[in-house]
Amino acid sequence: MPAPSTTSSSRSAKPVSAPLSSAPAPSSASPPRSPPVSIRLLQPNPGAKTPGKIVGRSGEEYFLLDLDDVLAFQAGRELVWIVTARQRFLATQTLRAIEARLADSRFKRVHRNALVKVGHVRKMRALSGQRWLITLSNSLQVTVSERQAHQIRQVLQW
């Protein structure tokens, strides 16, 4: 929010070096007091859209990937893979950090090792009790954990 203007048509503006009040200058024993300053931290807009890019690595090259092209994120041991329709890229962040960044987006956690874009789920098949196997548009199959099965079925309306 911009600061209100201190000039008006009936007053002339004071020079920057002019004192703010008519009080005598403070003695040298105590430091001069400056007026309180309001600091506002910039926060992401809660209504803002999900960030549209993510960094992925292939070999020695880093790519700025469009999230519209990403189908899933899969973790395997210490590595996180970004899965697109054509290729896999190594992520530069942990799966937890990616999930936090993409909160309230089209990506949903289906297992402790996977986030998938809901719009690319093409098929769901029951494996046992509450475990499911989903197939994405690129034929990648991902297991849905028992813990996430109910939420994913609600999101997919199945």
Residue 43 has pLDDT above 50, yes or no: no
Tell me, yes or no, whether 22 lies in a domain: no
Residue 83 lies in a domain: yes
103 within domain boundaries: yes
- Domain membership flag for residue 116: yes
Structural domain count of the chain = 1
Is it the case that residue 117 has pLDDT exceeding 60?
Answer: yes
Residue 16: predicted pLDDT? 47
What percent of the chain shows pLDDT beyond 90? 46
pLDDT exceeds 70 at position 50: no
Q: Point out the least confidently predicted range of 6-15, 64-73, 89-98.
A: 6-15
- Check whether 36 has a pLDDT greater than 80: no
Q: What mean pLDDT is reported for the chain? A: 76
37 assigned to some structural domain: no
What is residue 106's DSSP assignment?
A: S
User: pTM for the whole thing?
Assistant: 0.64
In a domain, 8, yes or no: no
19 assigned to some structural domain: no
pLDDT on residue 136? 93
**Arithmetic mean of pLDDT, 5-14:** 46
Contacts of 2 (CB under 8 A, 6+ apart): none
> Is 41 inside a domain boundary?
no
Domain range for 148 is: 53-156
Quick one: DSSP state of residue 147?
H
Q: What are the CA-CA distances from residue 19 to residues 27, 32, 38 (Å)?
A: 14, 11, 20
